Each structure stands twice: as structure tokens, then as C-alpha cells.
Structure 1
Amino acid sequence: MTDTPLWTPRAERADASHLAAFTRLMRAKSGQALPEYPSLWRLSVEKPALFWGAVWDYTGLIGDRQGPALAGSGRFLETRFFPEATLNYAENLLAAPDTRLAIRFLQETGDETTLTRAGLSALVSRLQQAMREAGVKAGDRVAGLVANQPETIAAMLATASLGAIWTSCSTDFGVDGCVERFGQTTPKLLFCSDSVLYGGKRVELAARAADIAARLPSLARVVVLPCAGDAAEAAAHIAGAVPLDAFIAPFAAASPAFTRVPFDHPLFILYSSGTTGAPKCIVHGHGGTLLQHLKEHQLHADLHAGDTLFYYTTCGWMMWNWLASALASGATLMCYEGSPFAEHGQRLWRWAEHAGCTHFGTSARYLDALAQSGLAPREHWPLSRLRVLMSTGSPLSAERFGWVYRHIKADLNLASISGGTDIVSCFALGNPTLPVWAGELQCAGLGMAIDVVDDAGHSVTGSKGELVCRRPFPSMPVGFWNDPGQARYRKAYFSRFAGLWAHGDYAEQTRHGGLVIHGRSDAVLNPGGVRIGTAEIYRQLDGVGEVLESIAIGQKWHGDERVVLFVRLRAGAKLDDALVHRIRTQIREGASPRHVPSRIVAVGDLPRTLSGKLVELAVKNVVHGEAVANVGALANPEALALFRDLPELSI
């Protein structure tokens, strides 16, 4: 880490931010000076009722706000936010149905369509009426095997408007993966896109949807959305299915009706990756999701009405839900369906320039691949409106931070953010008033009482430990679906430390007030009893051009553990003695001798989840001859065979 920030906001930009305006509001409400961000953060976690009430007011959340902002004992499972309030998530996203653009939709072919806020509202109205006619009511589940397209957002909003519950998988999920999830949540209605394009190939979805529907006895109907093919033709291959046009044909557009529900009324069911067993069905509520997203969009991302937000995501990742919520802040959404490397990687950046993108969101893995491709967006496009670039999914290395400022844009708030499906939001994220330091998440989120603790649960500074949260927050799950007595919920987050939410990240607080994520706790290496985060090794490989991606595991070895590094190499590269020496030298000099792997092995592929995350635990299980709990959660399960009985690991 250097002593010079990579970026510092200009004073006029910081002063014009939502966060600066909100700080002025909190000074008036609290009577405190709040001279810098840490003092505002402390107030937000020490006086949560005052803070979250102010967020409601500042963001203009629509609803019936009655009673206290907070009730209960202060313990996680005994605390309720706005227990007497009612609201509807969809009502907030569909406010002001005017001629402003709500959604820009681009497919891999380069074809773009747009939908105004009035057009989106009209489509939601017709869907709402059709769904009600189909028997959907408050509390019912509506599922989607869907592309990231405007009709999907409309279907989700129609579901939410009725008080029903939306749950979705991305179009790369197989039949078993969908049934494993939807079979637990028993949806009444299934939306399915007709087909998608990815990497120049058309993927038809009708046969998959037909198999899924046949295995879900709860379904009353399947509705096929037009995307990259012919919805009517696709529907003809699914028993009892109808294309979207036929589904909504009997109903004229009107102003949607919104059922206002309690703050904790279920809105979304999201799914854990399922790599250690059956996926957890995580239920999130209307109020907690909306309030948290409004806070993150406006106060941390500095998203204003009229801004344009892109996030590269699928409908099986929580960032899709996060993206959709930006409609409540008056932003235009950029929804993309296809490979991010279409047109040799230029497609997304050309579109960002054309659409006037102000906020560009992606994954650390994408930025790594972009750097390896040699494309430097700033050489082709000025990206004059782009103010914020967000990265999540895995830790973004310090080296990649520097690359972004050199090759994308110099005047940019680079926000590495971290949270997850469990909270449908972030624990740590960006800040428009603070500098950006290489490798660091800028700050803890307002209202999120995060800490880093040792194995005994004691706070640690200047060293690595477990990321925890000490106090309740609105976007905690309402619960898990079909979890009597909240047994699975308690085990997932509260079994490690009494009274603390354990998030499962291995982290470190920095002297700048930021955070570094060193990897998942369950993947931490422990050679010689010293804990090492896998991200500490991965970031050292950024400078090794031959290595495309890697996985590090701890192999049991003679009563201890040794570090084994698996690398996937660029085409034409060879893992010879010279490359092995260079990798080890880079890791030794950039990290420490303890980080240097005992064995480095080249493999043809690395296993990843359906959302694209590399799966260290699955590799570790195969290496040790143990069963992988849920192979169906992997996008490429055939890759596991590459790690079985490797001769390099027997010496």
C-alpha cells in the first residue's frame, strides 16, 4: 500500500454529493458537528433509529410511516425496523411515470431497445392484471428463468406490486439447478425468456423450461418472454405455456395498483451458491431491501435522478436486484444480455459512451480479463459522463486499481464493494467524499456496524480476522424459506460468535478507515498455523502475464498443511521451471515467504459457480478424495476431474 491515494474527489464534487447533503441533514437532526465521515458512520451505528429515519426522509421513500423506526431488544433476531410502517417496493420504483428513459436494453447483437418510465408502468399494469387473473396473490411465489431484459424487470415489479414474492435464476442454470431452487419455494407462475445469445451462439430455453415446469407441480402457468427468438414458437414447446403478448392481451394499460405491505413482508427469495449442500432460500423484505438500496445508491454511489447505471449481471445474482432498485432514485438502467467481450471487448464501453453511462458496475474477474485482453477503454472513448466504477464478486487487487486509473479513466471514483446475497447489499463500499487507496474498499457502509475480530471475537486492528457485524440492520434476511424456528438462519450467521453476525470473509481494517478483503474464511490457508487469505496470493499473479486465473488451496501434508497453487495459463504458455521460479519470486517478494506455494500445477480449467465465482472448496475436496456436496451448483462440473489423483500432489 502506498501513502498516496489514487484519486481524491474535487472539493466542489464532494460538496455537491448526496452524502454531503445528508451529512448536513444529520448535523441538524443530531446537534453534532460530524466533521468527517467516521463521525457520521459512528452516529449511524450508535443511533440507528435516528439514522434510518433520516434515510427514509432524505431519499423520499414512499409509504405509510407510522410508529417507531426501531423496536425490540437490539439483538439481531429480536429487532424490527419500522414495525408499524407499510409500503410497496414497486410503488417506489415506478413513481413519476413520465417520458424519461427507465431502461436501455442491449443484446450481444448490438440491437438496443428502450423503455420509458411511462412505458414500464403501463407494462407492469397489464402484467399485474394478468397475474391477478391467473390467481397470483400476496405471498405467492413467482419464478423466472430469465434474461436481463426489460420484461423481466416488469414481471418482477408486477409481482411485488401484488405483495407476491419474486425469485429467479439466470439462463445458464440447468434443469436440476432450477428445480433444486424453485422446488423449495413452489412458485405459482414461471416466466421464461425464449432464448438468449452468448458468445455468438443462440441458447434456446424452451426445452429446459418444459422440463422444469414438468417437475414443479405448484405451477399454474408458464409465460414466455420475447428476447432473442420467437416467444410464440417457444411457448408451443412448453405444456400450458403462453407468450407474453397473449398473456397480457386482454388487459388495457392503466395506473398500476400497489398493495402496501408491512416493512418485513417478503419481496425476494435469493439463493446461496449451493456448493456446500442444498441452496439456502434467503428471504428479503420490501422495506429493508428498498431502504438499504436507496442508501447505497444515493449516499455511497452518489446516484442522482437522471444518471445512468450499468451493472453487468445476470438475474441469478443479487446485483440484478440492486440494479433494478436504482429506478427508485430516478436513474436509467442499462441492462445487457450477452458476452461482455462481444466485439473484442469493445461492445460494453462503446455502449457506455453512447448511453452517457455515469455508473459502470462489473466484477473483479471482468477487470482482470479486460486487462489481459490489452483493451484500454480510455484510448477509444472519453467516457465524459462516467463518475463511478464499481467492482464486486471477489477482491480487486491493488494492481488492478492502478490499471483502472491508467486505462479506463483518471478522474473516477473506483468503488470496490463487498456484501452479498445474504444481505442483498453491502457491508463496505464506495464514498464520493473520500480518497481511493489502492486495494482498499473505501469505507464501512453507513448503518453497518462492521468490525474485524480474532477467533475469540475480540476486535483487531492492523491485522487480519473475521468480518462481523455487531448490530442489526434493515436488510438482514426476513428469514430462510421453510426454516422452522430459524434454525438454519441462526446456524448460517450466528453460530461462530455469540451475538455477532459472522459474514464469512477474511478481512483487515486499514489505517485509512477502509477495508481489505483477503478471501472467504472457509478458504483461508493455514500452513504452519499461520492464516493466509487466498486473495493475497491471487493479487501477486496480476503481473504474471502467462497466468489467466488461479486457485490456491491448503493440502493436508505430513500433519501440517501446504499451499498448492493451480494455474490456468494463456494459450501457448508453458509451466516450465522459469515460469514456476518467476511465480514463486513474485509471491515471495510481493507477499511473504509463507505465501509461496509448495506445488504449482497447470490445469486446463477451474471450477466455478453458476454466477462465475471460482470454487476453492470444491477443488480442496477433490484433492483430498472427499465428495463435493453439490456438483449441480457448478457451471462446469467436468473441471473437477482435472484435480483428481494428480501425481504432482503425491510428492
Structure 2
Amino acid sequence: MTKELSSGHLLWTPDAKAAQTGQLADFADMLRTRTGFDWGGDFQALWRWSVENDLTFWDIVWDWHGVIGDKGTRIIENEGAMPGARFFPDAQMNYAENMLANADDRLAISAYREDGTHVRLTRAELKGKVMHLAGWMCAVGIGRGDRVAAYVPNTPEAIIAMLATAAIGGIFSSCSPDFGIGGAADRFGQIEPKLLIACDGYSYAGKPFDRMDILRTLADALPSVTHTLIIPFLNAAPDLVGLPQPEIFDAALMAAEPVTEFTPVSFNDPLYILYSSGTTGAPKCIVHGVGGVMMKHITEMRLHGGMGSEDKLFFFTTCGWMMWNWMVSGLMLEMPLICYEGNPFHPGPERLWDIAEAEKLTHLGVSAKYIDAIRNAGYRPADSNDLSALRCLMSTGSPLSSEGFDFVYEAIRDDVQLCSMSGGTDIMGCFVLGTTVQPVHAGEIQSRALGLAVDILDDDGKPVTGEQGELCCTKPFPSMPVKFWNDADDGKYKAAYFEHFPG
């Protein structure tokens, strides 16, 4: 499709019936029944309503999705306090239970490595492995509130480990094995993990990287670790000498009695610890709560993304980027996750697009830098791959240029929805992202996130339109960090988010 190349020009228009069918329309029906509000197919009207009536919005999101758990009676305590507001303070739930509902023979994970290894797990198989690993964790003394540190590649074992940790009420924290000893120890050392899960190595661009020496050094730097669980990646039988009470991942699963129930936790209990970049000092340990993560991802995947159980989600990420945590939440939609571990250009730039074709992907997520990289490499997926199933291409990590927008429609698919997103580790999601019912213009992001009072503020803290300023969210929302780890008086937390503008 030929288009005039200029910033802001129209690239994609949704189907005329998009607002009348699918996830948004279904949610709007419940909204109209419960409140009388009719969005009339206008997403921005829905956004305004969701911000003006945020407590009702989040309450209905819980019911509409069918969150498994006890919602309790209160929607919020300390209403309006930033920080200090707590959504659903009486709620009890379990993240893993919500991810693993209806564990049948449908596909849960399809995972690829750059060497061609391909593993598929059904929902029943995934739940079985999760419950066995959770049983092993309990047997070695890991329980509610304990931290599990994972130094792992993007393989099914990483997802299994995360869900097993959540199943027993533990707190999961991960980084990619391409982190050196300094980066990993600076992060994990602050949270005092009881269990270290790690791979023996990884490969990138066809080159193996053994990590056993680094792993021993890392374990020595973490005196809180009582057990080590090793995922063989390079060698089937890695040398475990020098590790605290080591066990091989599959052997632990086979030997353990599975847990039969999920541990109920509070909505605001910690689920994840993620990290700031550490460019201005030691990385900040950002704690995200069980319920906040779920509620944010429900709105982003279902209401903004239009995703459902018939779709397939693939986000190219490592376990050191919050998009991995985001992707895992796709399991609550009973939607298959497609994973890839390795160099996206190995053996060539077609690698991810071959997977997209083979899996008949509906939703593919990459970084803006990746789109620029394939554009600069001269690779045009539309010329060699059948991407007819692809409805949405997500781009994040940095701003996508207007030229990048144009490239997507010229060289990838001319009728795909390009969803540019921006948010991050701090909120485990997006401040601004796409919608299925609004057009896409080059160089622009479609909408502010539902339920988030996002504004651009000038130097005086006043909202501005059409001008540069500071992106701010001026009302509480569920996926605000619960706290920073080791920040007893919330001093670091307040300094990071609440001191730039008074009030």
C-alpha cells in the first residue's frame, strides 16, 4: 500500500464494527448495565469516564474479567493518597491460580531457542509442572513472603518457576543471564533471596556462554540462599560443585509431591521485585503487588489490546525486562504464549517472522530498536512471510520514529494495527498505548491508559496540550509500586515519584 510519508499521517483505520464487537463491547455492556454510562463507541469518552469514576471502573473490571478470589467489601483505603492509597485492601487471591484456571489440553506455551529446539506445553502440563515445583519449594522451606531470585533465559522453566513461586505466596525476581556478576549481585543482594534458580549458561548468535563460574560467585555473594535450582541449558549434567544444596530442575519436579491448593494472599502482597537501571547508584528494588499487576494487565490486554483465548501472544523479551512479566499475564486469558530465547537475527533477520508465520501469531511485540534494525538490514517480512493472522504489532522500549511507523505498513503488513506503547517497570504496564477502535497515525500513540489520570504538566505543574512537559499520573491506580524494598520510611519511593511537583 502506497502512502504519503509525513509525520502524523493516517496509516490504519479500525473496522467500522470494531466498537460493536469483541472485548470492549462486552465490557461496555456490563458498564451500561451497572452504571447507565454509554460510551457510544468513543474510546476517549470511555477513558474520561474511567478516570472520573476510577473506583467504579476498577470494581467492574474485577467482575467483568471474573478474577478468581474474594474481592472483599472495600475498593480502596486512603482514597486519593499518593503514595498511600491501597486498592481492594480486603481482597484475597492468588496470581498463579488465575493464570492456570481451566488447565486442559489447549496450548499454553510454545517456546523456541535459536538452535531450533522447540518445546510445547499444554495448560494441563504447565499446571502439573508448576504444582510439582511448588511442592518442592515447600519441601525445602520456601514459603509465603520468601524471595526467589531467578538468573534465567526466556524458556518455559522461567515461567514455571515464576508461577510456582506465586502459587505458594513467594516473591519472584529475575534477571537475564547476560547480566554480569556485578549487575546480578547488585540486584539480588538487596532482596536476600532464599532460593536461587539459574541456568548453567545460554547461547547467543550461535555462541555458548557458560555461566557456572559466575553462578558460584553469585551464590557466594548471596548468603541468604539456602538452595540452588539449576536449569541445564548448555549441558545435560552441569557441575554443581560449590553451590548451596543444588538440585537439577527436572529432578526436583519429579521427586516432589505437588501442592494441591494455591496459597491465598492479599491483593497488595508482593508478587514481583523489579529493578531500576541503576545508572545513578544501586538499582532501586521496585515491589509490585499481586492484584495490581493482574488488574493492569487485564485492562491492557483485553480492553486496549482486544486479546482473547483464541489469540496467540509473542513478545520478544528477556527475563530482565518487564515485558516478560507482562507477557506471562497472557495466561489468564487462556491464550497461548510464544517464547523465543536467543538472538532475533540468528541465523538471519527472518527468525522472528518465521515463528510468527509458523504459529499464526495474532499479537507480536518487539522493541522500537528492533523495528529500526530490520529496516536498516533491508529485510521486508511481507516479501517472504505469511503474516495474514497478525492483527497487532506492539512496539515499546523507546519512541518509534515516524519512519518506523511507515516501514511497518510498507514492509510488514499494510492492515495491521501498530500499537506503540510507553510505560515501564515503575507501573508494570503502560501510561499510553493502543486501542482497537481508534486510527493509527505515524509517530503517534493512540490513547492514555484506561483508569489512569495521565497528563502532561509544564514546569509549574499545570496541564498542557500540544507542548512538551512531564508525563504524570495525578490519581492513584492499582499497579503503582507497593513499595521499594529496604525503604522503611518510603523515603526513596517518595523521592522517586512524588517530589518533582508539590502536592
Q: Deviations over 1:276-298 (max 9, x none)?
A: 11000000000000111111111
After TM superposition, list the pairs within 5 Å mapping 1:276-425 onto structure 2.
276-425=280-429
8 Å CA contact 2:7, 2:402 repeated in 1 = no
| Letter paired with 1:16 | T
Q: Deviations over 1:240-263 (max 9, x none)?
A: 3221123233224x5642111111
Q: Deviations over 1:204-226 (max 9, x none)?
A: 12111111001110000111113
* 2:245 alignment counterpart: 240
Structure 2 residue 38 is the aligned partner of structure 1 residue 33:
yes
3-state SS of 2:413 partner: coil
3-state SS of 1:406 partner: helix
Structure 2 residue 102 is the aligned partner of structure 1 residue 77:
no
1:139 Cα deviation after fit: 0.6
Root-mean-square deviation (CA), in Å? 1.3
Question: For the residues of structure 2 that align with 1:471 and 1:17, how far apart are their CA atoms?
Answer: 29
After TM superposition, list the pairs within 5 Å mapping 1:211-610 onto structure 2.
211-227=217-233, 229-236=234-241, 238-252=243-257, 254=258, 256-499=260-503
1:136 to 142, 150, 154: 142
1:235 Cα deviation after fit: 2.9
Instruction: Tell me: CA distance 1:101–1:320, structure 2 relative to 1, closer, same or farther (3 Å).
Output: same
8 Å CA contact 2:205, 2:347 repeated in 1 = no
* 1:105 alignment counterpart: 111
1:121 to 124, 127, 132: 127
Question: For the residues of structure 1 that align with 2:34 and 2:55, how far apart are their CA atoms?
Answer: 12
Instruction: Tell me: CA distance 1:234–1:374, structure 2 relative to 1, closer, same or farther (3 Å).
Output: farther
8 Å CA contact 2:305, 2:435 repeated in 1 = yes
After TM superposition, list the pairs within 5 Å mapping 1:10-29 onto structure 2.
10-29=15-34
8 Å CA contact 1:99, 1:116 repeated in 2 = yes
Q: Deviations over 1:322-361 (max 9, x none)?
A: 0001000111111110001112111110111001111000
Question: For the residues of structure 2 that align with 1:5 and 1:469, how far apart are their CA atoms?
Answer: 28
* 2:56 alignment counterpart: 50
8 Å CA contact 1:142, 1:165 repeated in 2 = yes
TM-score, reference length from structure 2: 0.96
Question: For the residues of structure 2 that align with 1:162 and 1:191, how far apart are their CA atoms?
Answer: 16
Question: For the residues of structure 2 that align with 1:81 and 1:19, how far apart are their CA atoms?
Answer: 23
Instruction: Tell me: CA distance 1:248–1:395, structure 2 relative to 1, closer, same or farther (3 Å).
Output: same
8 Å CA contact 1:207, 1:238 repeated in 2 = no
8 Å CA contact 2:151, 2:199 repeated in 1 = yes
Instruction: Tell me: CA distance 1:99–1:185, structure 2 relative to 1, closer, same or farther (3 Å).
Output: same
Q: Deviations over 1:574-604 (max 9, x none)?
A: xxxxxxxxxxxxxxxxxxxxxxxxxxxxxxx
| Letter paired with 1:91 | E
8 Å CA contact 1:121, 1:255 repeated in 2 = no
8 Å CA contact 1:144, 1:191 repeated in 2 = yes
Question: For the residues of structure 2 that align with 1:285 and 1:245, how far apart are their CA atoms?
Answer: 29
1:14 Cα deviation after fit: 4.0
3-state SS of 2:456 partner: strand
* 1:145 alignment counterpart: 151
Question: For the residues of structure 1 that align with 2:303 and 2:87, how far apart are their CA atoms?
Answer: 20
Question: For the residues of structure 1 that align with 2:147 and 2:13, how far apart are their CA atoms?
Answer: 46
8 Å CA contact 2:146, 2:194 repeated in 1 = yes
* 2:98 alignment counterpart: 92
8 Å CA contact 1:224, 1:231 repeated in 2 = no
1:239 Cα deviation after fit: 4.9
Q: Deviations over 1:436-492 (max 9, x none)?
A: 011111100000100001001001111111101110000000000000110000000
Question: For the residues of structure 2 that align with 1:284 and 1:471, how far apart are their CA atoms?
Answer: 18
* 2:208 alignment counterpart: 202
8 Å CA contact 1:223, 1:235 repeated in 2 = no
Question: For the residues of structure 2 that align with 1:306 and 1:494, how far apart are their CA atoms?
Answer: 41
8 Å CA contact 2:311, 2:362 repeated in 1 = yes
Instruction: Tell me: CA distance 1:383–1:469, structure 2 relative to 1, closer, same or farther (3 Å).
Output: same
1:54 Cα deviation after fit: 1.0
Structure 2 residue 157 is the aligned partner of structure 1 residue 157:
no
| Letter paired with 1:204 | D
2:13 to 8, 12, 19: 8
| Letter paired with 1:19 | L
1:29 Cα deviation after fit: 2.1
Question: For the residues of structure 2 that align with 1:2 and 1:420, how far apart are their CA atoms?
Answer: 25
Question: For the residues of structure 2 that align with 1:281 and 1:203, how far apart are their CA atoms?
Answer: 27
| Letter paired with 1:202 | P
> Relative contact order, CA 8 A, sep 6+: which one is greater?
2
1:384 Cα deviation after fit: 1.4
1:168 to 154, 171, 174: 174
Aligned residues: 497
Instruction: Tell me: CA distance 1:119–1:3, structure 2 relative to 1, closer, same or farther (3 Å).
Output: closer
8 Å CA contact 2:132, 2:259 repeated in 1 = no
Question: For the residues of structure 2 that align with 1:236 and 1:57, how far apart are their CA atoms?
Answer: 51
Instruction: Tell me: CA distance 1:260–1:122, structure 2 relative to 1, closer, same or farther (3 Å).
Output: same
Instruction: Tell me: CA distance 1:28–1:4, structure 2 relative to 1, closer, same or farther (3 Å).
Output: farther
3-state SS of 2:101 partner: coil
| Letter paired with 1:249 | M
* 1:548 alignment counterpart: none
Question: For the residues of structure 2 that align with 1:390 and 1:3, how far apart are their CA atoms?
Answer: 18
8 Å CA contact 2:28, 2:38 repeated in 1 = no
Identity of aligned residues (%): 47
8 Å CA contact 1:297, 1:326 repeated in 2 = yes
Instruction: Tell me: CA distance 1:336–1:368, structure 2 relative to 1, closer, same or farther (3 Å).
Output: same
Question: For the residues of structure 2 that align with 1:25 and 1:413, how far apart are their CA atoms?
Answer: 26
Please say which structure displays the higher CA radius of gyration.
Answer: 1
| Letter paired with 2:345 | F
8 Å CA contact 1:232, 1:242 repeated in 2 = no
Unpaired runs of at least 5, structure 1: 500-651
TM-score, reference length from structure 1: 0.75
| Letter paired with 1:130 | W
1:176 Cα deviation after fit: 1.1
8 Å CA contact 2:8, 2:443 repeated in 1 = no
3-state SS of 1:288 partner: helix
3-state SS of 2:419 partner: strand
* 2:3 alignment counterpart: none
1:157 Cα deviation after fit: 0.5
1:231 Cα deviation after fit: 4.5
3-state SS of 2:17 partner: helix
Q: Deviations over 1:563-584 (max 9, x none)?
A: xxxxxxxxxxxxxxxxxxxxxx
Instruction: Tell me: CA distance 1:134–1:300, structure 2 relative to 1, closer, same or farther (3 Å).
Output: same
3-state SS of 2:161 partner: helix
1:109 Cα deviation after fit: 0.9
Question: For the residues of structure 2 that align with 1:192 and 1:78, how far apart are their CA atoms?
Answer: 35
Question: For the residues of structure 2 that align with 1:130 and 1:161, how far apart are their CA atoms?
Answer: 12
Question: For the residues of structure 2 that align with 1:59 and 1:204, how far apart are their CA atoms?
Answer: 43
